[in-house]
Amino acid sequence: MGAALPAALLPGTATLGVLGGGQLGRMFVHAAQALGYRCIVLDPDAISPAGAVAEQHIQAGYLDSLGLARLARDCDAITTEFENVPAVALQTLAGMRVVAPAAASVAVCQDRAVEKAHFEAAGVPCAPHAVITSDVELAAVNPALLPGILKTSRMGYDGKGQVRVRTVAELATAWSDLKRVPCVLEQLLPLKAELSVLVARGADGQLVNYPVQQNLHRDGILAVTEVPAPDVPADVAAQAVAAARQVAQALNYVGVLCVEFFWLDDGRLVVNEMAPRPHNSGHWTMNGANVSQFELQVRALAGLPLPMPRQHSASVMLNLLGDLWFPPAGGPTTPAWSQVLALPGTHLHLYGKSEARPGRKMGHLNITAETPEAAHAVALQAAALLGLPGDF
């Protein structure tokens, strides 16, 4: 028999800790506080979106032994709000407190090569690829993988650490430009759409999921999510959900996990990557479902029951970057929130960041409606008011 599960941390009786002070941590804290938990955030910055709303903010680095000791002393369970927190920090904390997701799960998500090996071991197909860590592996790359995308194995997100390459010579140059760090070369595949599935799994093995989400990226950053996925037939959606659940189960994962997919022109579905945390593409759940992805993260961490999510409203999510505060014509300005919020079914979520910068995630706008067509129409109106492209 396995070890007994720890008793659930009941609302109103416990303190939850978060490594990371970004917007995902902020929304986790809000969800935890709504259930009656106290929250402590550990983040190296003096001012952070999550630290500003938590009951306590420990300003310390993620490998600061004193800071980690304080967090463990004052919290009953601890999570992370982003995947690049050092896995060793989670491992250290796990020796003192309940930690979810586990360091081993986060470590898989931190390395593209390890991540792809996990997908294959779980029986979920991913894009043809090659791992490059040496000149020998570079020389051995199958030219059939070109054209492709060279991605750093670690620390790549929102399109960073990625270079498109068409030839063997371009591949060699790109690897040199990336400082010859370990990389993964992925074959460039013709895409019909990009999809994602959010799952949540408890320590008791309970596993629930949201519907398939259809995503549009611009410059490597998620721009629009629509749910129900407008172009996805039921059999493809079922395949994506089954694959995401399989990935989580194979990891023995605890927490909220987002699995991203490429739906190819030939009808195949291949897994792209995963994130061991709530995800931009799940922000619609804050207004379009009976339980948000952040509440599920709280529940999984605290050992509470996980209800199967139910979408009650067709939803569109628009990602709001700092570019909105710097229109092409004129000086810095405040976006037209009054006009946007006059539209039916609009829900604005700003992250409390002190300064808008181009490319910086400042917030998101959820649009909910009775039908997908109505949500889409309002989303197009909102995009026009904000100066966003209407290419969705």
179: region left, alpha or beta (phi > 0 left; psi from -120 to 50 alpha)? left
Give the SS3 label for residue 199. strand
Annotated binding-site residue? 201? no
Annotated binding-site residue? 189? yes
Annotated binding-site residue? 164? no
Inter-residue contact 150 to 180 (CB < 8 Å):
no
Annotated binding-site residue? 194? yes
Handedness of CA 295, 297, 298, 304 (dihedral sign): positive
Alpha-carbon distance of 129 to 137, in angstroms, equals 12
Alpha-carbon distance of 282 to 51, in angstroms, equals 22
Annotated binding-site residue? 159? yes
Annotated binding-site residue? 272? yes
Annotated binding-site residue? 137? no
Annotated binding-site residue? 158? yes
Alpha-carbon distance of 20 to 276, in angstroms, equals 13
Annotated binding-site residue? 381? no
Annotated binding-site residue? 162? yes
For the chain, the farthest-separated pair of C-alpha atoms sits apart, in whole angstroms, at: 67
Handedness of CA 284, 220, 273, 351 (dihedral sign): negative
For residue 297, which of 278, 279, 281 has the smallest C-alpha distance? Answer: 278
Annotated binding-site residue? 364? no
Annotated binding-site residue? 312? no
Annotated binding-site residue? 156? yes
**Joined tokens for residue 145:** 């993988």
Give the SS3 label for residue 19. strand
12: region left, alpha or beta (phi > 0 left; psi from -120 to 50 alpha)? left
Inter-residue contact 166 to 174 (CB < 8 Å):
no
User: Is beta strand 38-43 parallel, antiparallel or unpaired with respect to 56-59?
Assistant: parallel
Alpha-carbon distance of 41 to 59, in angstroms, equals 8
Residues within the annotated binding site for ATP?
Answer: 112, 151, 156-162, 186-189, 194, 217, 272-273
Residues within the annotated binding site?
Answer: 112, 151, 156-162, 186-189, 194, 217, 272-273
